[in-house]
Structure formats: structure tokens, C-alpha cells
Structure 1
Amino acid sequence: MKKVAILAITFFAISMTVNAQSTDAKYLSKVQTLDSTIETLYGVISGEKGQARDWELFKYLFHPDAKLIPSGKNQAGVIGATFLTPEAYISRAGKMLVDTGFFEKESHRTADTFGNITQVFSTYNSYNNESMDTPFARGINSIQLLNDGKRWWIINIYWMQESEESPIPEKYLPKN
């Protein structure tokens, strides 16, 4: 029985290593720079109505312990935050993104780096299709990233949608 358990664990470890190497071969170039990582993030969730998203690539962007954290008022008017894993985000929003069409585009960015950590404030505009001129929503993604010397990892994305009570400050809007 012990030999069977050891063989099963060994097979699982080898399988995970081969799978990680295969995923690295497909996607490592997309997380080599801060710019490519953020561009990939916006690109992977965006698409026309009915267009499938590459959820394998989406999950690859995130550190294994990462969270996606939308914030705002709930139906009772109470401000709060919801903490999601990448998998939970896909379960919660994936079907809606495909069913309605969704494009999120970065319009402005500020970034602060210390050592191997970076904090990005990324102002976004949301559209249902690529031909829309006016976004249906705007907000700011606060993105925390880690560079481990080999690649960039998204640690957290914490975001808030703009509202009448909380307009986007001028310093986070594009300069015309």
C-alpha cells in the first residue's frame, strides 16, 4: 500500500511539473515585462459577444495565492469588498463576459516600484464591444505585482468603479 501511495504522489508531482513547463512554454513571454503582463490581463478578459476567453492564460497571470477584489456598495448601500480567487472570478464573471461582450481598456497608468514589488493604479474604461465610443463604466484597478526574477506575477487586483459620489481624480485620467 505504501508503494502505491508513493508511486501516485510521484506521478502527480511529475504530471504537475510537465504541465507547468508546458504552460510556461505557451505563456512565459506574456509575463516578462510589467507592460506585457498588464496588456495581457486586459486582453484576456476582453472580447466580443460569444468569443471564448483564454482562462488558462488568465490563471497563468496570477500568483497561486492571488486575489481579485471588487469593491463598492452592495444593494443595501453598504460599502465592502469581495475576495475572489482567479477561479472564483471565472465562475462568477466568465459567462457574463462572453454572453454580453466585454472590453476593458486601460486609459492611464501610474506605477511605483520598490525592489521586486510594484503597485499600479490603472484607470480603465469598459465597453460591450470594440466599436463603442463611450464606455458604460470607468474605474481604477489597483494592481499589486511581484517580479521573482523570472517573470511578473499578479498578486492582487483591487478595483472600484467610478460613481457620482466617487469620480476618478484628475491625476488618474489621461492627459489630452
Structure 2
Amino acid sequence: MKRSVLLILLTLFTFQIHAQENDTEEEPKDYSANVLTLDSTIKSLYSVISGEKDVERDWELFKFLFRKDAKLIAAGKNKEGELQVQYMKPADYIKNSGKWLVENGFFEKEINRVTDKFGNMAHVFSTYESFFSEDDEKPFMRGINSIQLFYDGKRWWIVNIYWQQESKKHTIPETYLN
């Protein structure tokens, strides 16, 4: 009998400790406001990858922006100078770029947007400038993000981002500047 009472008390004590541990765990952040509108979704995309040197990015928010099976597609030249595209999942982007963004500082700022919508889909040509710090006066790079989005009736999802940096050969047309 004593053994049963002791076992019950030990079990209750264990459950109480576990309940207290769960009370101190941080609740998942609610990112729903970040994706209610097309504008808030695009602004969240730029803000989540931007930050000063040594400032961690909110990768949970970054992943929240993307639909399952979404792709990030970088266009450019490889080491041999050949044109290519590189396909990444959001997790690949975090793995490939996350450390660099924090170590170097990086701000990508939208300077112009051209949006086309039909039904539940949208295509955004978003012209950007890139800086190492918020205090930098001149960008070290410019380009265009071609962003495809899907609205499911509740929120916007990024389906794909396909981007290309500006080069001497391919300057950004006036149509996509202010």
C-alpha cells in the first residue's frame, strides 16, 4: 500500500514538474499579420533577410512566408562565366546564405514594384538595392526579384522567387525604377 501511494505521489510530482517546464516554454510566434496582404508579405520578405552585422534573422518567419515546395531561384554566372540558375528550397537558402548575412550585414530594400494580379495569383517585379549596413549611402548591388504569390482565401504565400542582379550588360530598365 505504501509503495502504491509513493508511486502515485512520485507520478504526480513528475507531472507537476513537466507542467511547470511547459509553462516556461516560449509559445510559437503568430506571423499571420505578416501575410494578410500582398504588401505585408513582400515587406516581411525584405525585412526578414535584412539586418546589421551580427544580428540573427528570424528564420521561422522566413519559412512561414513560403508555400510548401516553394523555390528560390538565383540567376547568374557560375565560376566559368556561364549563365545558369540555381534552385533552392527556403531551407537551402538559410543554409547557404544565413551565416553570410549575419557575418557581413545585409539590407535589401525595395525601390520599385510592378504588380499584376489575376484571381488568386499575383506576380510582383520588385526592384531592389542591397547594402551591407542601414547607414550605407550607396548600394553595392541592385537587381530585380520576380515573386510569384498565391492567395488561399486567408493569406498570401510565396510560391517562387526568381532573381537576377543588375550587370553592365543587363541594366535595370526605367520601367522597373522609380
TM value normalised by structure 1: 0.85
User: Mind listing any 5+ residue stretches in structure 2 that lack a counterpart?
Assistant: 1-26
What do residues 111-141 of structure 1 show as CA deviations (whole Å, max 9, x unaligned)? 0001000000000000000001100000000
1:158 aligns with 2:166: no
Residues 4-49 of structure 1, C-alpha deviations (whole Å, 9 max, x = no match): xxxxxxxxxxxxxxxxxx75x6100100000000000000000000
Q: Please tell me whether residue 68 in structure 1 is matched to residue 97 in structure 2.
A: no
In 1: Cα distance, 2:153 partner to 2:137 partner: 39
Amino acid at match of 1:134: K
Gaps of 5+ in 1: 1-21
Q: Does 1:36 align with 2:40?
A: yes
Correspondence for 1:123 among 110, 123, 127: 127
> Aligned with 1:126: secondary structure?
strand
User: In structure 1, what is the Cα distance between the partners aligned to 2:46 and 2:122?
Assistant: 17
Q: Any idea what the Cα deviations from partners look like across 1:62-84, whole Å, max 9, x if unmatched?
A: 00110000001111111110000
Alignment of 1:107 onto 2:111: yes
Q: Give the letter aligned to residue 81 of structure 2.
A: G
SS at match of 1:26: coil
Aligned partner letter, 1:160: Q
CA distance in 2, matches of 1:67, 1:35: 20
Q: Give 3-state SS (helix, strand or coil) of 1:125's partner.
A: strand
Where does 1:5-16 land on structure 2 (aligned, <5 Å)? none
Residues 1:59 and 2:57 are matched in the alignment: no
Matched AA of 1:144: Q
Q: Residue type matched to 1:82 in 2?
A: Q
Query: Which secondary structure state, in structure 1, belongs to the residue aligned with residue 67 of structure 2?
Result: strand
Q: Which runs of 4+ in 1 moved over 4 A?
A: none
SS of match in other structure, 2:134: coil
- Per-residue deviation, residues 89-132 of structure 1 (Å, max 9, x unmatched): 00000000000000000000000001000000000000000001
Q: Greater Rg, structure 1 or structure 2?
A: 2
Of all paired residues, the percent bearing the same amino acid is: 58
Q: What is the aligned-residue RMSD (CA, Å)? A: 0.9
